[in-house]
Amino acid sequence: MMRHSTHPAPVQQSLPKRSAAAPGGLVASIAKSRETTLFVVLILLIVGTGIAKPQFLNLQNLRDVLLNVSIIGLLTAGMTVVILMRHIDLSVGSTVGISAYAVGSLYVAFPHMPVLAALAAGLVIGLVAGGINALLVAVGRVPSLVATLSTLYIFRGADYAWVHGGQINATSLPDAYSRLATGTLFGIPTLALIAAVVLAGLSVYLKQFRGGREHYAIGSNPEAARLAGVNVERRVMSGFLLSGAIAGFAGALWLARFGTVDASTAQGIELQVVAAAVVGSVAITGGVGTILGATLGALVLGVISIALVVLHVSPFWEQAIQGALIVAAIAADTLLARSVAKRMMRRRDHG
């Protein structure tokens, strides 16, 4: 009896090591290589544009890139959480617009409102918008593409009806609020630091917390995640709530950044956000992607935008370049997925 009891233990210990190390190491190396590639592309873009136009490498352009990417980066991070679960949120632009105008209207009515209260108001408005999307997708079982495309128009229509041709000007905002965009700390724009803190916190959530890991599990295989005890509906709802809250918060920061907002604020920005996420190695099929990669994707597109202006290239090329980068990123993801599948089949056959 003692002999028979000693043999199963080593087998049970060796199997998990073999099964966990191979796919985990492969996926990690792929993700790392994609982010490294993006970083190299970013450096090449900066150096190449700097060689062509030396005036590109100045502090003002760097500041503009950081300020513009701060808001896009926040929205891309929220979109990443949703895309990880095989969903999409096309309503983020409309949520930014209505949140920015709402916070501006609050300042018109209450000029001495604290800055933190204004940011909290934007976040709450975003939560409401995200809650509507969450109910439609998780409870109503409406495909996220259809649901959020509908709310994109609903929120924008409500914004137009509310604004009724008016606008909020920078003169209505207190100096303390405007300093969110104009102020600096150690030479870095305050807005960029705020965005960095949010992005770092979200990255830690996805990597270290069970709720964050469940987003990946749902995107990899929803049915397997359900069988493993994951409450898929609740996690999908939390993802859309998080995306909406970030969009509302970004709307409040948009007001501080640009000062003047109207009913068309942030119109069409959802396409830039999706492009940044996909270019940043977030797989549109779900289950793969990081906040760091999404942020690098936003940085690449932000640098391209500024570079085109410096090089006096027509702004219409920006959309063409974004479209080409999306196609290239999806093609790369498809090739990587096929390569991984072939390797796994070969290991299974040899095993």
Give the model's confidence band at 31: pLDDT under 50 very low, under 70 low, under 90 confident, else very high: low
Alpha-carbon span 19 to 43, nearest angstrom: 37
Q: Which two tokens stand for residue 176?
A: 């303390």
What is residue 320's predicted lDDT score, i.e. its pLDDT? 86
Question: DSSP readout, 265-323?
Answer: TTTTHHHHHHHHHHHTT--TTSS---HHHHHHHHHHHHHHHHHHHHTT--THHHHHHHH
pTM for the model stands at: 0.86
pLDDT(8) > 60: no
What is residue 180's predicted lDDT score, i.e. its pLDDT? 93
pLDDT (tens digit per residue) in 189-227: 999 999 999 999 999 999 999 999 999 999 999 999 999
Q: Exposed, middle or buried: residue 98 (CB in 10 Å: 0-12, 13-18, 19+)?
A: buried
Listed range (19-23, 140-144, 184-188) with the worst mean pLDDT: 19-23
pLDDT(307) > 90: no
Measured CA distances, 170 to 97, 116, 128, 151 (Å):
16, 18, 26, 28
Beta bridge partners of 261: 168
Alpha-carbon span 351 to 345, nearest angstrom: 10
Residues belonging to the chain: 351
Alpha-carbon span 246 to 34, nearest angstrom: 25
Sign of CA dihedral 170, 100, 250, 91: negative
Give the model's confidence band at 351: pLDDT under 50 very low, under 70 low, under 90 confident, else very high: low
pLDDT cut 70: percent of the chain above it: 89
- Largest Cα–Cα distance in the chain? 86
Domains of the chain, with CATH numbers? 56-338 (1.10.3470)
What is residue 3's predicted lDDT score, i.e. its pLDDT? 44
Residues 6+ apart with CB under 8 A from 267: 93, 97, 156
Mean pLDDT within 327-335: 78
